[in-house]
Amino acid sequence: MADDPVDKCRRVDELAVGDAGVLAGETGESPVIAMPGRPSRPQLVHPAKLPRRGLGTVESRAALVHAIAHIEFNAINLGLDAAWRFTGMPADFYRDWLRVAADETRHFRLLSERLGELGFAYGDFDAHNGLWEAAVKTAHDVLVRMALVPRVLEARGLDVTPGMIKRLTGAGDRETVAILEIILEEEVPHVAIGTRWFRYCCEQRGEDPDTLFPHLLETYMNGGPPGPYNFPDRRRAGFAESELEYLQERNSSA
């Protein structure tokens, strides 16, 4: 268990250059879920206790960078957990999720460096544990995990990042904008990996993914996140038009 972010990132680098196929175990019981290694800071609080900030000060921009860095740190753990937890999948499944973990590691490093340039460090602001709570909630079924973590929670980044880029551009923070542009472009294939394996699992079980996805949103996530949605990038990530229509209709009626 790697508690130190630098050590965790180094270990992910080592995994990424190895043969991910060795993780493809035989079908059996999924491992018992456990908290991944994390540093003592940031302090984890309820999302409602996190302050809303503008972008008019260096500290407020650092708080935003910190929030995104925390998401990327958790995304490292989510990629590793998918590769470790779900047995009996094709070897490409494990290669995909270790590749995602490696990308998230690079994103976390970029954001950590930016925090340092702004005079702060990872852990200086409070954060919440929503992403990992979703991992626990979906630990029982690879199909549910693929549907809801990459295709809902990580896809949320596709929706909100363009707005953050616009706000930061207005605040004159081109350095952070350049990082977010990299992350946005690289998150599209991450969500697409979730789509690929969600549809694979549906095919294996004889399920219709286009009707099952809305059902899972209603069952586990109260219908899914509110809009607006980044439909162009969601299409690039493999969302079906019927899924996008569901999201649009739900947002219109909310």
Cα–Cα distance between 103 and 91 in angstroms, integer? 19
C-alpha 180/C-alpha 103 separation (Å) is 13
Distance CA 136, CA 139 (A): 5
Residue 4 lies in a domain: no
Residue type (1 letter), 84: W
Which pLDDT belongs to residue 4? 66
How remote is the C-alpha of 227 from its chain's centroid? 18
Report CA dihedral (138, 152, 100, 76) to the nearest 10 degrees: -60
Find out whether 213 and 244 touch, Cβ atoms under 8 Å: no
| Chain-centroid distance, C-alpha 212 | 21
**DSSP H or E segment with residue 191:** helix 174-205
In a domain, 19, yes or no: no
Residue 179 lies in a domain: yes
What is the residue whose two structure tokens read 């299409």?
A: 235
- Supply the pLDDT for residue 185: 97
Is 227 part of any domain?
A: yes
**Side-chain half-sphere exposure of 14, counting CA atoms within 13 A:** 6
Burial of 170 by CB count in 10 Å (0-12 exposed, 13-18 middle, 19+ buried)? exposed
Q: Examine residue 139 and state whether it is found in any structural domain, yes or no.
A: yes
Distance, in Å, from the CA atom of 152 to the CA atom of 144, rounded to the nearest integer, reads 11
CA torsion through residues 146, 148, 154, 156, sign: positive
Classify residue 21: in a domain, yes or no.
no
Q: What is the CATH number of the domain that holds 122?
A: 1.20.1260
- Residue 41, in any domain of the structure: no
**Digit-coded pLDDT (tens) for 104-143:** 999 999 999 999 999 999 999 988 887 788 888 999 999 9
**Residue 183, pLDDT score:** 97
- The segments of the chain whose pLDDT lies below 70 read 1-11, 13-40, 253-254
Range of the domain at 241: 55-253
Give a yes or no: residue 183 inside a domain. yes
Number of domain units in the chain: 1
CB atoms within 10 A of CB 109: 15
Instruction: Give pTM, 2 decimals.
Output: 0.88
Residue type, 130: G
